[in-house]
Structure 1
Amino acid sequence: MKPSLPLLLPPLLLSLALLGLRVQRSEEPLTTPALPRRVDGQHATGTAFQWLEDHGNATATPATTRHPLQPPYPHPYRFLLNEPHKCRERTPFLVLLVVTEPGDTAGREAIRQTWGNESSVPGVAILRLFLLGVHPVFGRELGAVLEEESRLHGDLLQQDFLDTYNNLTLKTLMGMEWVSKHCPNATYVMKADRDVFLNLGYLVRRFLVPPKKNFMTGYIYRNTGPIRRKAYKWYVPREVYPKNTYPPYCGGPGYVFSGDLATKIYQVAQTLPVINMEDSFVGICLHALGIGVTRSPWGVFNMHRIQYEKCRFSRLVMVHHYQPQDLLTIWPDFQQTKCPS
């Protein structure tokens, strides 16, 4: 007797996710195919699966003026999965943009059940959206799975660039584009990676009231520069970014900014050479706009893992290196009795 599709699907997705993680961390530069212009409906004309059937994972010859590590931008990327109606009947206080990989269905579900729950902060309107590109190997196979997940949860944004480490900047710009076009009145936006712990309640109470403009905060890097050694995944050659230092910027695992900045960053990004370091590029955009980052108290945004202690975590906004399975373990305890203020 052959096993049914539901029984086969979880191990298939796990295999795809594990292989996708290896591909995601590869240092091989991947370019993006030249594609039709984006469509602003919930789904592109035809499904993402159909688009992948038509185009596969072919790559275009990179422009002679663009370094292979430089993400192709500006480019008319098309939304394969979209949620353009989310803000038409409500204005969220906080739009939560979570960077994720196409095959990470279990990770997204864990985030929905923990800090990504839109009801996690009573009285605060939160909108959660996951950002993803096309898997560079299993894009066709994952297309139908992602379509189904999108119909079930209504929280996936996907454009037709390849989902690789060097294209992470494109994911953030996709989020900026979506907010600027479909949710421009959002009070705040937070970009977060999938391997973090977030305390949105503390974030809102401590930093976001009253509302601000031209505001961005997180773990701030100052006087840092590009890594020029090819052995590192953060390698940025001089052809991509010639200066020796970056402007101040907030670390990529998690930062929050006022909603007005989404449009400003998206617009100025159309005029600047894009680099493969997402968080540094956002700092470059802010510098071009003449807007600085706002300092946060030391230790509130943590770029390294800290052992879980409920009352300590109640006074933190972010802790890096907490995988979705970790979240499912600690979240029930974190939601219980309050700690002393």
Structure 2
Amino acid sequence: MIPVAPHNREARDTIRSTWGKETTVLGKVIGRYFLLGTSKEEDGTATIQEQVLQESQRHHDILQSDFLDSYNNLTIKTMVMFEWLSSHCPNISYAMKVDSDIFLNVHNLVNMLLKAPRHLYMTGMVARGATVLRDPASKWCLPVSVFPELTYPPYALGLGYVFSLDLPKRILEASAHVKAVYIEDVYVGLCMRHLGIDPTDPPRGDLFQANVPAEPSNCYWASVITAILQSSDQLSQVWGVYQSQAGC
């Protein structure tokens, strides 16, 4: 499940031609969907919405909901994702929310999940004891009036987290009792705390990476599950390098 802005066709096409084209890994079937809100932008003679409709008719991998697609609405987008998964995926074992600027090693992801719990499970890069930022200049600022606690409960960073499919319905139910904040991964963590469920640390701390080393090792891309990239062009380059590391 890949949240992406409606206008960002380049990111979607790049994912479709790299890690997103994998449909069966280690005998397991993989599905891929892009999550979109709506846009007020226009691009030439055709509106963004018309272009998205054409793209959807071609690829059949777009889920769009009627809310303004913006950074401050990412929590809405995430709840829409949980709602869709809860109602449309009764026979699926796991889902992953992954940002569009991420390299995803689907093989390593599936390999990890083959040994993972099947129930009440969420993992990724888990933040524990993270300090709440109060600086109004920060895009992650939460004033005391919104969130009075000094630290956040444990939560899986939004760059990429995976969860068992019994969680979406429970998180949706919890959201009725948890005050919304616009930092979507923190909000999911607040809902998890309400449920009394702790996110699980991954089997290795280096599987989910925030930053790529300046000089990654020869087997770096074959060893991780996620890593943040700078652009779609970089994803295409990294994909080629990753395929050359298949023997690692």
**Hey, what does 2:115 align to over in structure 1?**
209
SS for the counterpart of 1:152 is helix
CA contact (8 A) 1:131 1:156 kept: yes
1:178 aligned residue (78, 84, 89): 84
Structure 1 gaps of 5+ residues are 1-96
CA contact (8 A) 2:221 2:245 kept: no
**Hey, what does 1:114 align to over in structure 2?**
18
Instruction: Show CA shifts across 1:291-324 (max 9, x none).
Output: 0111122221111123444512211111112422
TM-score, scaled to structure 2: 0.91
**Hey, what does 2:185 align to over in structure 1?**
279
Quick one: distance in 1 between partners of 2:67 and 2:137?
25
CA contact (8 A) 2:26 2:111 kept: no
Quick one: distance in 2 between partners of 1:206 and 1:310?
21
Quick one: distance in 2 between partners of 1:275 and 1:263?
19
- How large is the RMSD of aligned CA atoms in angstroms? 1.9
Per the TM alignment, residue 331 of structure 1 is displaced from its structure 2 partner at its CA by 1.3
Instruction: Show CA shifts across 1:88-135 (max 9, x none).
Output: xxxxxxxxx011111011110100111112426252211101111112
**Hey, what does 1:128 align to over in structure 2?**
32
Letter of the 2:30 counterpart: I
Per the TM alignment, residue 211 of structure 1 is displaced from its structure 2 partner at its CA by 4.9
**Hey, what does 2:209 align to over in structure 1?**
302
Structure 2 gaps of 5+ residues are none
Letter of the 2:19 counterpart: W
Quick one: distance in 1 between partners of 2:227 and 2:111?
18
Quick one: distance in 1 between partners of 2:132 and 2:141?
7
SS for the counterpart of 1:325 is helix
Q: Does 1:313 align with 2:221?
A: yes
Per the TM alignment, residue 146 of structure 1 is displaced from its structure 2 partner at its CA by 0.6
Instruction: Show CA shifts across 1:187-232 (max 9, x none).
Output: 0010000111111111111344355211111111111132111101
**Hey, what does 1:236 align to over in structure 2?**
142
Instruction: Show CA shifts across 1:53-93 (max 9, x none).
Output: xxxxxxxxxxxxxxxxxxxxxxxxxxxxxxxxxxxxxxxxx
Quick one: distance in 2 between partners of 1:123 and 1:113?
21
Letter of the 1:192 counterpart: V
Residues 136, 245 of structure 1: CA spacing in aligned structure 2 closer, same or farther, 3 A cutoff? farther
**Hey, what does 1:329 align to over in structure 2?**
237
1:266 aligned residue (131, 148, 172): 172
Aligned residues: 244
Quick one: distance in 1 between partners of 2:188 and 2:245?
38
Letter of the 2:129 counterpart: N
CA contact (8 A) 2:26 2:110 kept: no
Letter of the 2:7 counterpart: G
Per the TM alignment, residue 186 of structure 1 is displaced from its structure 2 partner at its CA by 1.2
CA contact (8 A) 1:119 1:126 kept: yes
**Hey, what does 1:249 align to over in structure 2?**
155
Residues 233, 317 of structure 1: CA spacing in aligned structure 2 closer, same or farther, 3 A cutoff? same
Residues 295, 211 of structure 1: CA spacing in aligned structure 2 closer, same or farther, 3 A cutoff? closer
Quick one: distance in 2 between partners of 1:269 and 1:329?
40
CA contact (8 A) 1:216 1:255 kept: yes
SS for the counterpart of 1:302 is coil
Letter of the 2:167 counterpart: L
Identity among equivalent pairs (%): 37
Letter of the 1:155 counterpart: D
Quick one: distance in 1 between partners of 2:26 and 2:176?
37
SS for the counterpart of 2:201 is coil
Moved over 6 A (4+): none
- Which of structures 1 and 2 has the larger relative contact order (alpha carbons within 8 angstroms, sep 6+)? 2
2:126 aligned residue (220, 232, 240): 220
